Amino acid sequence: MGDVAIKEQSENTEESWLGLLFTIACAFAFAFALRVFVFQPFTIPSASMEPNLIEGDYIITSKYSVGYGKFAAAPLPFPIKNGRLFSRGPERGDIIVFKPEGRAQYYIKRVVGLPGDRVQMIAGLLYVNDDVHPQTKSALDAHSDTEFYGAEVRNENFGGTNTHQIFEHIKNHPGDNTKVYIVPDNQYFMMGDNRDHSGDSRLPRVQGGVGFVPSENIIGKAEFILLSAKPEVVFYKPWTWHKLRGSRFFKGLK
């Protein structure tokens, strides 16, 4: 009887381990599927999208809202080389995460030019298809967590209901006056909201910009800020949590 009991106990232990491993595998598969097909988190590493996104913001991007390109499952390959599966945009004004050609890093910028658009900067104002987009000035919030206190804040609108803010920081910046860019088919023109501190589509990749961004290089649309942390925050050190920016938690983006 003793030997039988030991054998039964051994079999039960093996079944328990197999059940646990199966549960863990399912959890990983579910998390991976969410990351590939639904949402993906990113951290903002620079000031190029201020005042709307600041360094230390943790954002959530949706992939289903724009479809799936060749980097949808990065670092694993995705069976798309040209265009995007279930493509749904993006639209002018969307904040988009993408990978420029020839670079390993992710970038985040705002779409200002769609395929076929004519884009130009004249005296710091953005023209799309020869129409200037209205920009009204507003005051910089005294409590803003930014180093660009001398920046002029402008409200920019692309003709929809949402208005977003941009920074104009350096007068007569080289990026304030550009040639006319005609956006090729299946590509997009991206710009940072911190206009004078953004390497974007105004410059080719060899000069520190991103050039035109192919449709298949788009990762997802930034939907909201999950949380935001100052550089001093270390998440495994609870005594630093008071440096979290609570006012930016669950903040929608536009």
Residues tagged active-site: 48, 109
Contact assessment for residue 121 and residue 178, using Cβ atoms and an 8 Å cutoff: yes
With a CB cutoff of 8 Å and minimum separation 6, the contacts of 235 are 229, 241
Of 40, 109, 106, 37, the C-alpha closest to 78 is 37
CB within 8 A of 126, min separation 6: which ones?
112, 119, 120, 132, 133, 135, 156, 191
Helical H runs in the chain?
2-37
DSSP-assigned beta bridge partners for residue 222: 61
